[in-house]
Structure 1
């Protein structure tokens, strides 16, 4: 069981060896409904695990090359393996955004890092922009020495032009929300090549966090997964 204050640093180091980073965390308030921890008691703390930019990509590719068969959702499988190993080492329960029933990952992330959604629904990070993701979380049955998230300006509030809502050829994103079927049909269709090979045009139009933008091959991987290509 994790008890030492320095253990959070140890978890961060273990994850960083695979390109993953701790994305903040918090202690559940007394009386708050919390998911179950490792021994089926209510969790008292959660640490979010994710990525900044494409740092995990080379680690994932090396893992994928060693697999003896094709695996459905390979990035999810890799993430579960890496985060699961950290959970085992530090006495936590590992959970994933794809677990059913779904856990409130976006709400956790906003609470842990003080972020708000962009017009695309992706949380806007003050440093990474839209180029980050959450791969899982660690649930602990003890409280952790965690500080409250710092408050940062929401970059989207200062963005007047909103290029993220003007670059999609089928206007999949708008102030009314995301039209999933329009996006999917375009990506799969004859004119969807720019999106298939280089990623979402709206996401790429965002001016923030450009140093962390995923390389084209990473964006193509995610787009293929989204469109089931």
Structure 2
């Protein structure tokens, strides 16, 4: 069975009511080790759910005001609730990037939208730059007819200056990878104020998709979550 176009439009509208968007999808091949759908049989299709810019932020804040002050991982909890409600309404299983055992969300995202990682590891989008995210996915036990995804332009290939590798005061990102402990120590330390209040300096140095850049309060929230979750 191929899911009707009207269902995709319904899902899009339901997600859009909370500032979320569909981020592409695909049909699993016979060679894929597909996660199970709502009834427990292997899924045939997946739709990625995420955001462009900070569109979900006001919806999240309104939800947050009604929750206990000490709720753990509030943005993850909100995403699970919103995407879970949509999944229940359309016969899908909702999954999250933080589910354990971890699902291959980045591989799914690259396959769904044809994106490639930036030097920071974040997938580079030709419109949104680095200012986007994946909040979950919908797994269906039916095939979904989706337009064929064309090859995306990878902006990092044309970026010679690579300012994203030159702005961090502790060189947390390099061609060798991410210096996790150095980043964490700096963010928590006396000189980490600019990162704590305005977000990652390397990420903010990227010249692409700046109209989608998260506002400082959103970046501060994510940086605080990183510092706290790191233990």
Instruction: State the secondary structure of the residue aligned to 2:127.
Output: coil
Unpaired stretches in structure 2, ≥5 consecutive residues: none
Partner of 1:146: 146
Q: Deviations over 1:56-95 (max 9, x none)?
A: 0000000000114421000000000000000000000000
- Report the CA distance between 1:153 and its aligned residue: 1.4
**Range 79-88 or range 148-157, more displaced:** 148-157
Q: Which moved more, 1:209-218 or 1:146-155?
A: 146-155
Q: Alignment partner of 1:228: what SS? A: helix
Show CA shifts across 1:22-43 (max 9, x none).
0000001134220011111000
Q: Distance in 1 between matches of 2:216 and 2:10?
A: 33
- The CA distance in 1 between the partners of 2:118 and 2:148, in whole Å, is 22
Displacement of 1:148: 2.4
The answer to whether the Cα contact below 8 Å between 1:2 and 1:90 also exists between their aligned partners in 2 is no
Distance 2:220 2:178 in 1: 20
Give runs of aligned pairs for residues 115-130 of structure 1, distance below 5 A.
115-130=115-130
CA distance in 1, matches of 2:29, 2:68: 45
Cα distance between partner residues in 1 of 2:64 and 2:33: 37
Inter-partner Cα distance in structure 2 for 1:144 and 1:152 = 21
| Structure 1 residue ranges without an equivalent (≥5) | none
**Over aligned residue pairs, what C-alpha RMSD do you find?**
1.3
Separation (CA, whole Å) in 2 of partners of 1:160 and 1:31: 38
Q: TM-score, normalised by structure 2?
A: 0.97
TM-score normalised over the length of structure 1: 0.98
Deviations 1:136-193 (CA, angstroms, capped at 9, x unpaired): 0000000011122221210000000000000000000000000000000000000000
Distance 1:78 1:203 in 2: 25
CA distance in structure 2 between the aligned counterparts of 1:104 and 1:186, rounded to whole angstroms = 30
Q: Structure 2: how far apart are the matches of 1:212 and 1:157?
A: 21
Go from structure 1 to structure 2 and tell me whether the alpha carbon gap of 1:81 and 1:2 turns closer, same or farther (over 3 Å shift).
farther
Deviates more, 1:180-189 or 1:2-11: 2-11
Give the equivalent residue in structure 2 for 1:48: 48
After TM superposition, which residue ranges in structure 1, 4 or more long, deviate above 6 angstroms? none
Aligned to 2:11: 11
Q: Tell me the distance in 1 between the aligned counterparts of 2:32 and 2:178.
A: 32
Query: How far apart, in 2, do the equivalents of 1:71 and 1:32 lie?
Result: 36
Deviation at 1:3, TM superposition (A): 3.5
Say if 2:84 is the partner of 1:84.
yes
> Contact (CA 8 Å) 1:44, 1:140: kept in 2 or not?
yes
Task: Say whether residues 1:98 and 2:98 are aligned partners.
Answer: yes
